[in-house]
Structure 1
Amino acid sequence: MGPITEIKKFNPFPGLRPFAPEESDLFFGRETESGEVLEKLLNNRFVTVIGASGSGKSSLIYCGILPRVRKPDLKETSEWTIISFRPGSDPYGNLAEAMAESAVISDGNAGSRETILKELLSSSDGITEAVRKLIEKHGGKVLLVVDQFEELFRYSSLGKSDSSHATTSKFVDCIVNSVSQSSVNVFTIITMRSDFIGECAHYQGLTQLINNSNYLVPHMGTDNYREAIVGPVNYAGASIDPGLVNILLADIGDRTDQLPVLQHAMMRTWNRWQVLDEPGRQIDKTDYDSVGTMSDAMSLHANEAFEELTPRGREICEVMFKTITEKGSDNKGLRHPSKVTAIKSIAGCTSEELFEVVEKFRITSRSFITPRQNVPLSDDSIIDLSHESLMRLWDRLREWVDDEASSVQMYLRLSEASAMYQQGKTSLWRPPDLQLAINWRDKHKPTLAWAERYNPAFERAMVYLRTSEKEYLEEEENKIRLQKRQMRRTRIVALILGIAAIISVGFMLFAFVQKIAADRQTVLAEERRVEAEMEKTRADAQTEVAIEQKTLADSNATVAIRNEEEARMQKEIADSQRSLAERNAAEAIRQQNIAIEQSDSAKIARIRADENAKVATEQKNAALRLRMLSIGKSMSIKSLQVQGQKDLQSILAYQAYIFNKNNGGVENDADIYAGLYNVAKLYGNVNYKSFKGHTGGIRSIAFVPGKREFFTSGYDGKVLKWSLDATDQALQIVYSGTDIIEVLGVSPDASWLAMGSSNSAIKMVSLKGSAGYEMTGHTGKLKSLIFSFDGKSLYSASLDGKVLKWDLSARTNTSLTDGTMPITSIDVSFNGKFLAGINSNGGVVVWNEENKSETFRVPTTGKNIKAIRFNPGNNTLAIGDVSGTVELWDISMRKKISEVKAHTAQVNDIRFNNKLKQMATAGNDNSLKIFNIKDITDLTEPPINFSDYERFVMVIQFSPDGEIILSGSYSDRENLISRPAHVDNMVKDICTLISRNMTQDEWNIYVARDIPLENTCADKSYNIQVNPIK
């Protein structure tokens, strides 16, 4: 080509739409195919051009076939009249309009759309008769081009009525009859997507025509693609860097639908190059990279249109795209063309509001949806995607399609369950299915207009859900009543035990009294024994006197007899006194034995009473402890339900925390945390912050080791530095450019920041003031950057499947994969011994770079793993899959330790906090969860759940001191939030928020009447305690 002297101002690339007939000079790369199709057409008077979506069927016809028909190389003198149309939802009407616009029949009313339509509908030979009149008037040949013939089947299925299917069948018969007859010189071309070829089997005549003459559009080769890139550029008077051409050819890959993606990327690249207004410069890689390359250009372009909408327009836009797309059985995105009336009904908007949104996406420079900009919109217009690749490449639409698919799946499950319930084949739903359905209803707010697309029994499904919810709530209320009844029983048992304790104390007191009485009897018996001995002594003395008197009596008989008589009497008296003394002594001994026995019984009774009292006290304290914990949880939940009452919300949440802590509750209880977190979020807390700086979602977070400072990267192309302790929203812009920084890493000595970009380069930024540098070795987006523990090396993983280990001093790399195991994301164990990676199939591989024999493939059959993370304190590996399940593996033992269903959608990130023995997970269900892993084998304790995100939670990080959990979401706002990792960090200054304590009435309502009122905050400290009974 000669020197470039003039550059044309138009854009030579059409974007997502096909080439128009007037753009045939810009159509390159299909010359051979054009000739082959034309030959089949002329030989058979009919040809079906079949190809995959995006293979260029329409462009081949309009710019490859029609120009040759108009200027044939054949020796023919007859002229061709070309009638081109798309069937849409009204094939007869659209054909009649195409024929009328061509003015092919006659002047006046005879050529009006209504007249032609009447002729077409008159019989199954309607097309033949209409063309016959054309030939009679003008002569020559007629070429009928039916573009996107599959619309007959797609729009027919939208009607879901017998009449729409009958219209399709009749129109097909018209086409077949026009080809089969020989009296009229009509030729027909139809273009059709290959995945609809099976629909044609329902029509025998059409099947026979296709079998006789069809052309399958082949996949373009490298040379053809090169012509499609370079040809339009040269025609427009510009030139393109050969290096960029090679990059484009590499980016196309082996997909069959890349042609429109290439055309769109080139359209955007040309616009970028033309805006810079440097005519002498070739189109090069900088222009291509600036628009996002083939992987991101379409997403960025579509997001531009989305950002131009008002907030209401964005809501309508989301509903519109959810309505015109769907997921197929193979989990791939499918187009679902919909009428304006249907979209309006689902979105709850006016025609004008919807048209305003549609116009943003169908302007010529975008052409994301059809009909094209030159076609007026009406309530009967059908809105459709220009190409399925938009679903694959526009990130926001991917999320919408996934979200809609999940919503539809839930509704269909609910509809099926309601039908079975109506037939008596199943019961009402219960958690977790019930809670998931309620969450779905509250989030998506389904309507009858939306639901009728999938199952018309909307009211039945909603009644079933409401009935399930009502019965469950009644069951829960009944459980609460039973718990209260059980509490009353517990109180009664405690009362009975208390009474038993009192009775035992009474027995003990009675035993003490009996012991005292026995001691008194012992003393009395001892006194009587002594008295008896004294009597005995006196009796003995009397006996001696009697003996002496008896001796004296021997000498004096008279006196003796008298004295003898007297002695006998004295002896009897003495014997009587001695017997009495002996009896008294025996009685004293008996009384003493009784007293001893009563004393032992009293001791036993006292011991038993002490034991019973101790058991009663322990049971009462345990019952009281459980009661206080239950009251605490209830107060925390009630604090969430109180609206707009700062003092009461704060007091309830704080008092719940006090009851839980003083009564030995779970250390970081999820219910207690929820109440205090709500107060912190509403009224402020030093550890709860929302950082404002990124205008797009967050891609990566990296803390500076040992500090409360961190770096973030986002979809807005920025890297920012923050401080957790800054009182204001102070930030430092570290990087801002067109490349999105996918992942960040900070060296252990806090000297270097590593940034992995979307263009496969690693940018090294010095944090100590020295010069930075860039390292290249990958050919795909960076997904992982991890410094070794000594800071001398850097591990990297990319979508190109390679894992590299970089020597940072030499700035060289070594590959850690052999090419047979493409790894896209990695993590390194705490001691650097093991590496774990996710391969391109969603599997997990663990290996030792020093000893390949230790390679271990984690069993993940049937699962698609999306997140991996080593516990920094040991060789435990956590893996998370697309279903929301997280598994913990002991790599040394090669066995699974535990498993938990953490999320209802894909797990995006996992992090460990060894300071507090915690594991955090983030997922596509818009939630972040913190699990207690003090016992790593048991993950049944309910986690702390943060579900207040607008979009997916992409990345999370614990601060180095373990006190803060930082999260980044996909949202454009409120996308970077720090929260306390432990409930204790939310109560330090909570009393500064509170101006009063509870009133007695409030205490009676939220605590209990029988528990004494205490001040929750007194001199900024609490003094509520549960005193155990002693």
Structure 2
Amino acid sequence: MPRGERPLDVGDTPLLKFAADLRSLRDRAGGHSYRQLGAKAHYSATTLSDAAGGRRLPSLAVTLAYVRACEGDVAAWEDRWHEVAAAVAPEAPPPVEQQPPYAGLAAFQPRDSEWFFGRDQLLEDLLARVGSARFTAVFGASGAGKSSLLQAGLVARFAGTTLLTTPSATDLALPETPADLVIVDQFEEVFTLCSDTSRRAAFIAALLDAPQHVVISVRADFYGHCAQHPDLVAALEDNQLLIGPMGTEELRQAIMQPAVKASCTVETALVSRLVADATGQPGVLPLLSHALLETWRRRRGATLTLAGYEAAGGVQYAIAQTAERTYTSLERQQRELARQVFLRLTALGDGTEDTKRSLPRAELDDDVDVDVVLDRLAHARLLTLDRDRVEIAHEALIRSWPRLRGWLAEDREGLRTLRQLTEAAATWISLHRAPDALYRGTRLDTALEWTRRPRARTSAREREFLAASSQARDRERRLAHRQTRRLRQLVALLAVLLLLAGGAMVQTIRAQETATEQRNIALARFAANESLGKRESDPLVADQLVIAAYRLSGTDDLRDAVLGAHAGKSGSTISRSVRTSPALSPDGRPLPSARVGEPVDDRLYPRIGTLTTPVDAVTSFALTPAAQAFATTLESPGARLWDATDAREPVPAHTFSGQVTQLSYAPNGKLLALVREAMTVELWDAADPAAPRLIGVLPDHPRWVTALAFSQDSRVLATTDNQSRVRLWDVGDPAAPRQTAQLSDGEDVSVVALAPDHRTVALGGVSGVVRLWDVSAAEGPRRIAELDGHRQPVRALGFRHDGTALATVGRDDTVRLWDLADAARPRAAGRISGSSEGVYGVSFGETWGEVVTARADGTFRHWEFDLDHVVAQLCASVREPISREEWSRYFGSLEHRPPCG
């Protein structure tokens, strides 16, 4: 099959075959771009692309110009054009039993005026404007009903003769006509089909100077194009009408009145459903009309039913079918562009459904193929285009189009990286390309790695942003080297000046101290950066470099670099006995017995012990007063309770029946909470794990429960619903639980942790920001602090048993420690980078600085934040102190002080 030609099926029309053959002709001619063909044919690239799009038959002149540019047989194609023109010419409609009362996806025509309802007030406003002004413009998003308003409304109600046309039909030459009113529909084609600015200006001038009343309809995203013509701006100053979505009552009229006129009735339930599906949705009117047409075809007698609407698939079915048909009609490179547009228009959910995202037009490249794709998708009612923004017409497209769902599932983390890159580039441009807004460090490395993936595609300004970030990083490295040399020279000069200017001793000393501090910072950061390159080849020297760098400068980023170097040498561990893991003690305090563990390769141990369980199935661990350990897992068909006292030989203790969506064991090992069928929270007595019994149910939980969290003393249970509301429940008496507080955070909440004193609650979610709430105040819960450290969603939160510190784990692969000695003014105490995949819980270990994360595959990882302890462990493995030569390479003439010597 020729490149770029889609396969034809039984449903293809002569017009679609004609368009496919035009595309094949272009492929055989060498596959030139439409921009190249336009230079040969003297037509715009958009016009030639539309000619081969199959949406409508191009004019004979455009067709022959296309064929000549592709060196085809002009005579044969002229005969072919006349055959297709005859085949697609409108014929007299065959007699039908009853005319459908709805127009489907097409706009209402003048002949459909008797079926046009719901726009009476808007039509009266338009008629009044036409009567009082000679020139009027109607603006609205694609699918807002502009064409229907003009054709079935204005033409039918105007008291005089009318001429209805489009720019493509007139070829930008206003016909001479005695009509009292000239209506130019789809006026945006003046900009999309004509690249000759002089012809465009002449056509606009002819409209403005016409003796008749003139009304134009313009897609709202072309408002800025109109502003480029001063005379048109002046004409529009007081003579424009903006069409928005239909209101509830207008929708009811548009649904019910055509049915009444056709002697049909509409079920009340169907009306309510249609109004709910369409209210407030831009560009939904054609889809609603199509769904009504299909429902009418499935009517029961003379009644339009909800069952018929659902059988037709409703708005969702229409969107999915239109999306697939439009996508497959695009050419190969345009399909890839369409994929990128839809991915950028979708906001990824985290535990919630994906939603549509309004996209600034500037986020997409200024390219003819991009314009063609947007125009095709907007014409198919899949997108709505405003002045400077693009948006998916209906979120049902995300839910209902299998191809789009597949794209979104391919690389969700990559899409999040792209979204962050897009936002960072936009911020950089809004700040006039400020150097401080560029990417640095890990964020730059992550973005560059993603761009090297096969299907990754960035916009021009994103590429510019990454290029500027890379160049800035290179400049900073070179500057550090130069600054070191200059600082040495400055120190020598200051020493000479000190001897010559004894009277300026104090000022010189201060300048030298400042210079020394700056030099030390520059040297320390240079050494720490260089240690990364030696991490693989000479890790012991790399460890000594980063320790020496921190001791030289003492900044927070160098402290974190030391912690990270230590964390890089330790991996996940799996305890030989679960009782020895400090993460599982019932009251949050460490157990006296020593931890025994061994490194675990995630590829070799995707299970708990020897009993196969799904990867990422574990949801909680707990320890009973009898020092027996138990784990909970969410599996299909039932959730399970495991006796994991011996982690190498866990055994199932109990299997819960029914649909369990959340499961959590209380730290005291006696109480278990589970969510059944998303909304019912049950409390079970698990003192006998082999035979737990139901003892209580949380009353009146109105939403889907997405997360559970117990306090360390097991007396308070926190539940989070799909509206991000957090409720606190007193479960001291599980048989009679009662709600004690409710937090409406106003932001996404997916993880919760309660302080040991029950006064403070920590909330985290998609934004990466952790919020601290005081729930003890008499006036009610109040937010007291925000911890802004993570750049991706928060996975887990955990308080130290004395409440003086909080550990947080983010999807950005960082574990952070926060000092909460003053909860209203928390302080960052450390950050360690490392994989956080699958982490569901975090707690504190046996020492002040030990943090333990629990993964859903049954493994634990220990993170050390005690800097003195970390330095001692790193130095313990050093066999030979850093040599004097190695030292001078990174620290110049500074005194040789091996950190582990």
**1:901 counterpart = 2:785:** no
Q: Report if aligned partners of 2:798, 2:806 keep a CA contact under 8 Å in 1.
A: yes
For residues 869 and 912 of structure 1, what CA distance do their matches in structure 2 show?
7
* Structure 2 CA distance for aligned equivalents of residues 337 and 982 of structure 1: 42
Given the alignment, which residue of 577, 582, 605 partners 1:684?
A: 605
Task: State the alpha-carbon separation in 2 of the partners of residues 290 and 927 from structure 1.
Answer: 46
Q: Distance in 1 between matches of 2:114 and 2:307?
A: 26
Query: Is this contact kept in 2: 1:703–1:709, CA < 8 A?
Result: yes
Who is 1:465 aligned against? Answer: 473
CA distance in 1, matches of 2:743, 2:682: 23
1:49 equivalent among 138, 142, 147: 138
Matched, 1:709 2:632: yes
- Find the aligned partners of 1:777 and 1:273 in 2 and give their Cα distance: 41
The separation in 1 between residues aligned to 2:622 and 2:529, in whole angstroms, is 49
1:897/1:754 CA distance change after superposition, 3 Å: closer
What SS is found at the alignment partner of 1:28? coil
The equivalent of 1:321 in structure 2 is 342
Give, in whole Å, the separation in 2 of the partners of 1:487 and 1:386: 53
1:173 deviates by: 5.7
What amino acid maps onto 1:284 in structure 2? L
Question: Structure 1 residues 775, 910: closer, same or farther in 2, change over 3 A?
Answer: closer
CA distance in 1, matches of 2:300, 2:424: 55
Partner of 1:147: 186
User: How do 1:815-894 residues align onto structure 2 when only pairs under 5 Å count?
Assistant: 824-828=725-729, 834-839=740-745, 841-842=746-747, 868-871=752-755, 874-880=758-764, 883-888=767-772, 891-892=775-776
Identity of aligned residues (%): 16
2-structure distance, mates of 1:703, 1:21: 70
3-state DSSP of counterpart to 2:879 = coil
Q: Distance in 2 between matches of 1:765 and 1:877?
A: 22
Q: Deviations over 1:417-438 (max 9, x none)?
A: 99777xxxx8x98xx9433223
Residues 284 and 264 (structure 1 numbering): CA distance in 2 closer, same or farther, change over 3 Å? same
8 Å contact kept, 2:358–2:389: no
- Looking at structure 2, the residues matched to 735 and 264 of structure 1 have their Cα atoms a distance apart, in angstroms, of 39
Q: Which residue is equivalent to 2:879?
A: 1008
For 1:403 and 1:692, the matched residues in 2 are separated by 31
Q: Quick one: structure 1 residues 763 and 209, their matched pair in 2 at CA, closer, same or farther if it must change by over 3 Å?
A: farther
The 5 A counterparts of 1:737-886 are 744=662, 753-755=674-676, 824-828=725-729, 834-839=740-745, 841-842=746-747, 868-871=752-755, 874-880=758-764, 883-886=767-770
Task: State the Cα distance separating 1:945 from its structure 2 match.
Answer: 4.9
* Structure 1 counterpart of 2:487: none
Question: What is the alpha-carbon distance in structure 2 between the residues aligned to residue 211 and residue 363 of structure 1?
Answer: 27
Cα 1:763/1:891, change in 2 over 3 Å: closer
C-alpha distance after superposition, 1:798-835 (max 9, x if no partner): 678xxxxxxxxxxxxxxxxxxxxxx8443447867842
SS of 1:82's equivalent?
strand
* Residues 866-914 of structure 1: per-residue CA shift (max 9 Å, x gap): 8654236632211347653324455448999986434114547645686
1:328-343 pair list within 5 angstroms: 333-335=359-361
- CA distance in 1: counterparts of 2:803 and 2:445, whole angstroms: 33
Distance change in 2, residues 1:142/1:415 (3 Å): closer
Q: Is the Cα–Cα contact under 8 Å of residues 875 and 892 in structure 1 kept in the other structure?
A: yes
Q: Give the alignment of 1:555-570 within 5 angstroms.
A: none
Structure 1 letter corresponding to 2:420: S
Tell me the distance in 2 between the aligned counterparts of 1:705 and 1:8.
74
Distance change >3 Å, CA 905–CA 750, structure 1 → 2? same
Q: 1:728: Cα distance to partner? A: 12
| Kept in 1: contact 2:287–2:315 (CA 8 A) | no
Match of 1:435 in 2: 442
Which of the residues 164, 168, 182 maps onto 1:82?
A: 164
The number of aligned residues is: 645
The corresponding residue for 1:284 is 306
Match of 1:528 in 2: none
- How far does residue 308 in structure 1 lie from its aligned partner after superposition? 15
CA distance in 1, matches of 2:222, 2:370: 29
- Correspondence for 2:420 among 406, 411, 414: 406
Q: CA deviation at 1:186?
A: 7.2
Task: Output the CA distance in 1 between the equivalents of 2:843 and 2:303.
Answer: 49
Q: Give the C-alpha shift of residue 37 in structure 1.
A: 2.7
Change (3 A) 1:83 1:415: closer
Sort the Cα spacing of 1:174 and 1:932 in 2 relative to 1 into closer, same or farther, 3 A.
closer
Structure number with greater Rg is 1
RMSD (CA atoms): 7.4
- Is 1:214 equivalent to 2:221 in the alignment? no
Q: Secondary structure at the match of 2:758?
A: coil
Q: Report if aligned partners of 1:918, 1:932 keep a CA contact under 8 Å in 2.
A: yes
User: Separation in 2 of the partners of 1:687 and 1:46?
Assistant: 76
Q: Distance in 1 between matches of 2:429 and 2:844?
A: 49
Retained in 2: the 8 A contact 1:34–1:64? Answer: yes
Q: How far apart are 1:234 and its partner, in Å?
A: 6.8
Distance verdict in 2 for CA 1:873–1:170, change over 3 Å: farther
Gap change, CA 1:946 and 1:456, over 3 Å in 2: closer
Question: Take 1:958 and 1:340, find their aligned partners in 2: how far apart are those partners?
Answer: 47
1:916 to 1:790, Cα distance in 2 relative to 1, 3 A? closer
Deviations 1:206-242 (A, max 9, x none): 2343245433446644321112334567789986531
Between Structure 1 and Structure 2, which shows a larger proportion of helix residues? 1
1:49 Cα deviation from its structure 2 partner: 1.6
Q: Do the aligned partners of 1:676 and 1:983 also contact (CA within 8 Å) in 2?
A: no
Q: Tell me, in whole angstroms, the C-alpha distance in 2 between the residues paired with 1:239 and 1:701.
A: 53
CA distance in 1, matches of 2:197, 2:217: 15
Distance in 2 between the 1:918 and 1:688 partners?
A: 32
Distance (whole Å) between structure 2 residues aligned to residue 9 and residue 702 of structure 1:
63
1:980 corresponding residue in structure 2: 860
Q: Is the 8 A contact 2:706 2:750 kept in 1?
A: no
Report if the CA contact (8 A) 1:82-1:145 is conserved: yes
Alignment deviations for residues 568-622 of structure 1 (CA, whole Å, 9 cap, x no partner): xxxxxxxxxxxxxxxxxxxxxxxxxxxxxxxxxxxxxxxxxxxxxxxxxxxxxxx
Contact 1:965 1:980 in 2 (8 A): yes
The aligned residue for residue 223 of structure 1 is: 249
| Superposed counterparts of 1:356-505, under 5 Å | 367-369=381-383, 387=392, 390=395, 404-411=418-425, 433-445=440-452, 450-453=458-461, 459-468=467-476, 478-479=527-528
SS at match of 2:126: helix
Distance in 2 (alpha carbons) for counterparts of 1:268 and 1:40: 33
Contact 1:326 1:404 in 2 (8 A): no
Deviations 1:954-1005 (A, max 9, x none): x9457999999677xxxxxxxx765425479xxxxxxxxxxxxxxxxxxx99
Alignment-derived partner of residue 512 in structure 1: none
Alpha-carbon distance in structure 1 between the residues aligned to 2:562 and 2:419: 41
Unpaired segments ≥5 residues, structure 1: 1-5, 86-94, 100-115, 121-126, 157-162, 346-353, 372-382, 492-629, 641-648, 655-666, 713-717, 801-822, 843-863, 968-975, 985-1003, 1012-1030
The answer (yes or no) to whether the contact 2:142–2:383 under 8 Å persists in 1 is no
Secondary structure, aligned partner of 1:215? strand
Q: Which runs of 5 or more structure 2 residues have no equivalent in the other structure?
A: 1-95, 349-356, 482-522, 532-539, 549-560, 577-588, 625-629, 686-690, 733-737, 865-874, 883-901
Q: Secondary structure at the match of 1:878?
A: strand
The superposition leaves residues 732-782 of structure 1 with CA deviations (integer Å, 9 ceiling, x where unpaired) of 99778xxxx9x746798878844465xxx7598999999999999788766
Helix, strand or coil: the match of 1:189? strand
Q: Which runs of structure 2 are paired with 1:62-101 in the superposition (5 Å)?
A: 62-66=151-155, 68=156, 74=159, 80-85=162-167, 95=168, 98-99=169-170
Q: Residue 602 of structure 2 aligns to a residue in which SS? A: helix
Equivalents in 2 of 1:270, 1:920: separation in Å? Answer: 57
1:704/1:710 contact within 8 Å kept: no
Give the partner amino acid of 1:826: R
